[in-house]
Structure 1
C-alpha cells in the first residue's frame, strides 16, 4: 500500500493536520492496521519536500504544535496519476506463506502441519471478518469482501498444496 498516495487522497478533501490524516486513514481502513503517527508525519515531511503538499499554517497553543497541510496542484496531479495507474498483480502477503512452506519442505520440517495451521488461521480470520458488522461507510463492506475473497483464494491454494503433499507422500 502506498501511504504517500493515501495521505494525498485524504488531503484532497481539504487542508488537515497529521492527527486528522491518521484518523481519516484509520476510518477508511477500519479492518486494517492503524497508521502510526510517526509514519504520518514522516510521510507529510516527504510530501512537502517533494512539493506535493504545502504547509498552510503552524499553530502552537497549550499543547503540541499543529501544522496544517494542503495538497498542491502537483500533489493533485500525482494523486490523479496514481489513481489512473493499474496495480500490477503481486505476491502480496502470500509471499511469506509460500516461503515458509518451501523452507519447511526443503529443511525436512512438517509442511503438512504448517499448512494445516495456516489454513486454520485463514478460516479464523474469515470468521472474524464475517462476524464484524459492516459500518455505515460504503467502503467498509467492499474492503471486507476484498479481504475475504483473498483469504478464500489462499484457502483454495492451501488445500491444493495439502493435496499435492499428500499425493507425494503416498507415491
Structure 2
C-alpha cells in the first residue's frame, strides 16, 4: 500500500495532525484495516524528512502536544504525479486464499469441504458489505463495491476450482 501517498492525499485539503490523518484514512476506507497510529507518525516523519510535508504548528490546547502538518509544494507535486500514474495489475504474489487451497489439495485434506467453508465466508462478507449503511461519502461506497467485486471474482475462482477437483476425482475413479 502506498501509505505515504495516501497521507499526502489526506493532507490535500489542509493542515492536520496525526490523529486527524488516521481518522481520515479510516473514514475513507471504513471496511479495511485501520491505519495504525505508529504508521501515521512514522510516515509523517519520513515525509517531513523528504520535504513533502512541513510542520506548521505545535500546540497542546490543554491535552497532549499535537504537531500539525501541511503539504509543501513538492508534496503537492508528488501527490499529483502519484495520482496520474496507473498501477500495474497484480501479476506477482499469490494471495493467501490460493496458497491455502493449493496446500489443502497437496496435503490430501478435504479440499471440497474447505472450498465450501471459504465460499460461505466470502458470501457472508459480501452480504456485510452490501448491507453497510450508506453514508454521505460516495467514496466509501466505491471501496465497498471494489471489495465485494473482488470477493465475487474469488467466488468464481472457488467454483472453478471445485469443478476441477470434482472432474479429477471422477476421472481417477
Shorter-chain TM-score tier = over 0.9
1:148 corresponds in structure 2 to 148
Q: TM-score, normalised by structure 2?
A: 0.93
Q: TM-score, normalised by structure 1?
A: 0.94
1:84 corresponds in structure 2 to 84
Cα drift, residue 18 of structure 1:
0.5
Cα drift, residue 106 of structure 1:
1.5
> In the alignment, does 2:40 pair up with 1:62?
no
Where 2:139 maps in the other structure, the secondary structure is: helix
Distance in 2 between the 1:71 and 1:137 partners?
23
Show CA shifts across 1:27-73 (max 9, x none): 11122222111111111111111111111121235321110101111
Aligned length: 171
Cα drift, residue 107 of structure 1:
1.7
1:23 corresponds in structure 2 to 23
- 1:1-171 mapped onto 2 (5 Å cutoff): 1-90=1-90, 95-171=95-171
Where 2:54 maps in the other structure, the secondary structure is: strand
Cα drift, residue 161 of structure 1:
0.3
Distance in 2 between the 1:94 and 1:123 partners?
21
Return 108-117 or 93-102, whichever deviates more.
Answer: 93-102
Distance in 2 between the 1:114 and 1:126 partners?
18
Distance in 2 between the 1:143 and 1:81 partners?
22
Distance in 2 between the 1:125 and 1:25 partners?
21
Cα drift, residue 134 of structure 1:
1.2
Distance in 2 between the 1:72 and 1:132 partners?
37
Coordinate RMSD, CA, aligned: 1.6
Contact 1:94 1:154 in 2 (8 A): no
Contact 1:8 1:71 in 2 (8 A): yes
| Cα distance, 1:120–1:47 mapped onto 2, change above 3 Å | same
Contact 1:53 1:71 in 2 (8 A): yes
